Structure 1
Amino acid sequence: MMKTLTFCAAFTVLLCATISVGKVSDTAPHSSDQGMSAAQKRIIALSPHLTEIVFALGEGHNLVGVSDYSDYPQAAKSIPRLASYQGANIPAILRLKPSHVLYWEGGNKDADIAKMRASSLHLYASSVDSVDSLIADIENIAKFIEADQEIAQALIETLSDNLKRASEFKTPIDAIYVMNPLPLMVLGNDPWLNDLLSICSLQNVFFSSLSPYPQLGIERILRSKAKLIIYAQNKASNEAQSTLDSVNKSVSSELRARQIQIPDEFSEHKEHILAPFIQANPDKLHRFTPRAIEEMTKVCELAYTINYDVQS
């Protein structure tokens, strides 16, 4: 997995880590035993997914610094940047005198983490590689930053409801997750995305690949027995829906719009591609945030409205 700080929600960068549960990683004294007032909170989030989680917990107004590519929600864009792919700006972090610093274990540089620890900052290490570990991470972050318990509980309940809805779909469907068309790159053995797919029994055809994101020739797609192709793109599709007869007429217009025509990059082979394409938003799925679960639920709902007998 990646060990340097890399940020963005495009297919080229997945926010992946190696440990399943985040943890408080400092030994510095802190006032959390008595509780901290909102005016005292000065939170720094050193990864886009952490920025987003802090906002989701209702604590975005207490953020005084974030990382590059912290672009959601909109309010995050105006917060000072303290970290990039080159590393964290430790002097700037110290000048801000933060009460809480959240970093990504597996994403932020070990040397930067060591410097922050040596400065006795109150640190939290976020580590996520599955849906279960994301839920645990959110719960732990809520405790660490002393978020409003009702807001935190409501968020967890919403995520649990989405997961329950998606998990009702149990019939396995062999699928290919296209991360990039040119060069053709698909999902391989990356644990985060495969765990998301497994919520509703979508089975990645290339799960056993030696690479998290293998680059393939189109012939591998054509030879596969995939029933569904999930196409990662973060723009809304204005194209007409393909194989409309295969979609349940009761499905919402939002979901119907996600079933797209064969993309131009595959048009040369369209006569040989029988599997339908549906759209997934990588900006949501590729980050360890509540939006990933929300987006995956929508993908699951659409995947199971398709009549795959029509494709055969």
Structure 2
Amino acid sequence: MTETLTRGRYSAFVLALLWGLSAVPAQAETCVTDDTDRKVCLARPASRIVALSPGATELVFAAGAGDQVVGVVSFSDYPPEARQRQSVGSHTRLDLETLLALEPDLLVGWVTGNPAEQLERLQGLGLPLYLSEPRRFEDVATSLERLGALAGTRDTARAVADDFRVGIEALRERHRDAAPVRVFYQVWDEPLMTVNDEHLISQAMALCGGDNVFGELPRLVPRISEEAVLGADPEAIVAGGMGEENRDWLDAWERFEELSAVRRDNLFFVPPSLIQRPTPRLLEGTRILCDHLETARGRG
């Protein structure tokens, strides 16, 4: 009888265990919408992420998922740990063989920077691809939150996103009534290139009270001529350069003494990674830009 009871208890235990296991819900699929309105879904948090632009690399690290990044492209230099990750080529020409060998479970691409045909091929292989193209400050914050959701780092991503929102709003309030300054932003030198009002850099200028002299051009990053800059006669010229401390592009404008920006010594440098990458460090770059434009107002 004792043996019968023991067997009965064991059977009851097994049944209870099986019932308990069956009652545990399956892990819910995580889905987000990327910047092209595509739905990206993962069955489990991404553990092997490849970022296909320097900006994407920064965003993933900032979202708290740096440990999951296994591949990056050239010039992915921030944070410093990113330099230790496997290179998969440049953002303009991906090394697909190396990329696929990393067995990624999430790719973070750049809509206007990565070759469309290579992105299409990666999609055709069935790899989860999140396409990034922030055009507004809020887009930077929501990108952090979406990537945090896909990587299983929601809390970290949300905290960084909220800090970014608070910092941007503080700058917006501080410069809300600032007198306008007509600005030319140089994004490249040969060919000479700028940005229109749809670009995030122009959004930063506007927040600081800057009026983009080429804001109404139809292309996001239009090519222009020196003659066009002379005709626009900006009150301030802002540029990055070929490095984080290279002001050569500004020096080239000093020969045009007829420009208001040159006469007033309103030639300003902002480290390119702080303003040309749509990441949380854009807050720092925008602060620098606002300080420059405040200086320009004082020299008006």
Say whether the fold is shared (TM-score over 0.5).
yes
Give the Å deviation of 1:129: 2.3
SS in 2 for 1:162: helix
- In structure 1, C-alpha distance between the alignment counterparts of 2:54 and 2:190, rounded to whole Å: 26
2:252 aligned partner, one-letter code: E
Larger Rg: 2
Aligned length: 260
**Cα separation, partners in 2 of 1:235 and 1:89, compared to 1, 3 Å:** closer
| Contact persistence 1:176–1:226 (CA under 8 A) | yes
Map 1:144-223 to 2 at 5 A: 144-149=150-155, 151-167=156-172, 168-170=174-176, 171=178, 172-180=180-188, 185-188=193-196, 191-211=199-219, 212-217=221-226, 220-223=228-231
Shift in Å at residue 300 of structure 1?
0.9
Structure 1: how far apart are the matches of 2:170 and 2:79? 25
Q: Distance in 2 between matches of 1:61 and 1:129?
A: 27
Which residue in 1 is equivalent to 2:280?
Answer: 290
The answer to whether the 8 Å contact 2:250/2:269 transfers is no
TM-score by length of 2: 0.73
1:269 aligns with 2:256: yes
Deviation at 1:177, TM superposition (A): 1.5
Amino acid at match of 2:127: L
- Structure 1: distance between partners of 2:34 and 2:293: 28
Q: As a proportion of its length, which structure holds more helix?
A: 2
Find the residue that maps to 2:135 and give its secondary structure: coil
Q: What 5-or-longer segments of structure 2 have no aligned partner?
A: 1-32
Q: Compare relative contact order (CA 8 Å, sep 6+) and give the higher one, 1 or 2.
A: 1
Counterpart residue number, 2:28: none
Residues 180 and 87 of structure 1, relative CA distance in 2, 3 Å threshold: closer
- Say if 1:23 and 1:70 are closer, same or farther in 2 by CA, change over 3 A: farther
Normalised TM-score (structure 1):
0.70
Could you give the per-residue CA deviations for residues 75-114 of structure 1, whole angstroms, max 9, x where no partner exists?
Answer: 2112111243564344433332223222223333344334
Secondary structure of the equivalent of 2:104? coil
The alpha-carbon distance between structure 1 residues 271 and 202, as it changes in their structure 2 partners (threshold 3 A), is closer
Identity %: 22
SS at match of 2:184: strand
Q: Distance in 2 between matches of 1:114 and 1:80?
A: 22
